[in-house]
Amino acid sequence: MAKLKSTLPNMLLSLTIICMCAAGVLATVNQQTSGPIALSKAAALENAIKEVTPDFDNSPLDEAYKAVTSDGDSLLIYPATQGGQSVGVAVESFTMNGFGGEIRVIVGFDADGKLLNYSVLQHAETPGLGSKMQEWFRTDKNKQSVIGRSLAEGNLTVTKDGGDVDAITASTITSRAFLQTINRAYSAYRGTDAATGATTETATDATTEATETTETTEEGGENE
């Protein structure tokens, strides 16, 4: 087979063929991995729901619905039922006001609206500072813990702002943002029926909004 001359048209032809082959390989790999990735994300989200709600025998992912917060955003709510009776909900909440940007949290409430537990799904806060929120606000020390609190009595705020929740040391910005996700979760949940989602917009595909695992990035120290 005669060797192609090193001309511009021939070089462009070779490059085009290489790009087409690479695109074909990437498309095949994406097609083969998209399904397992989606299932993995859904499984991670279901595990997070189990962490923050009482035992349930329904499928919260399949029965998810959307509810509007007091500031007009829509949040996904995953109802937990046992024997057809509501035992609580998990609310997927977020804020863009973290020191590093978005903070995404799933919050569990019982049927009476008491905060049962939470799990930080995603953040970009400072390692060793803001990243402590995963455990800080469930630690039974001074006024750190938010577990067991009833938001029917009012929003959660840090002591520096006149509230009764101790902020993470040197991470007031992160602490304010974290508590905002909790308050937003409750504001979406409080006006809905935990079992039916009445007065809300039904989620069309909850599993496609499964969240990613926690991600962190390095950055400078936080300011008070």
Residue 88 has pLDDT above 50, yes or no: yes
With 0-12 / 13-18 / 19 or more C-beta atoms within 10 angstroms meaning exposed / middle / buried, residue 21 is exposed
- pLDDT tens for 46-79 read 899 999 999 999 999 999 999 998 888 899 999 9
Query: Residue 206: its pLDDT value, please?
Result: 41
Query: Residue 169: its pLDDT value, please?
Result: 95
Residue 193 has pLDDT above 80, yes or no: no
Query: Residue 30: its pLDDT value, please?
Result: 62
User: Taking the mean position of all CA atoms in its chain, how far away is CA 46?
Assistant: 12
pTM score, whole prediction: 0.72
Dihedral Cα 140, 49, 46, 204, nearest 10 deg: -150
Query: Residue 2: its pLDDT value, please?
Result: 54
| Alpha-carbon separation of residue 166 from 96, 141, 185, 207, 213 (angstroms) | 21, 9, 20, 35, 26
Given pLDDT bands bounded at 50, 70 and 90, which one contains residue 34? low
Domain ranges across the chain: 54-209
What distance in Å separates the CA atoms of residue 89 and residue 98, rounded to the nearest whole number?
25
Q: Are 194 and 79 in contact (CB under 8 A)?
A: yes
Q: Residue 76: beta bridge partners?
A: 66, 92
- pLDDT tens for 96-153 read 999 999 999 999 999 888 999 999 999 999 999 999 999 999 999 999 999 999 998 8
Query: Residue 32: its pLDDT value, please?
Result: 63
- pLDDT tens for 157-192 read 999 999 999 999 999 999 999 999 999 999 999 865
Give the neighbor-by-neighbor strand order of the sheet with 101-110. Answer: 115-122, 101-110, 85-98, 74-82, 65-68, 201-202
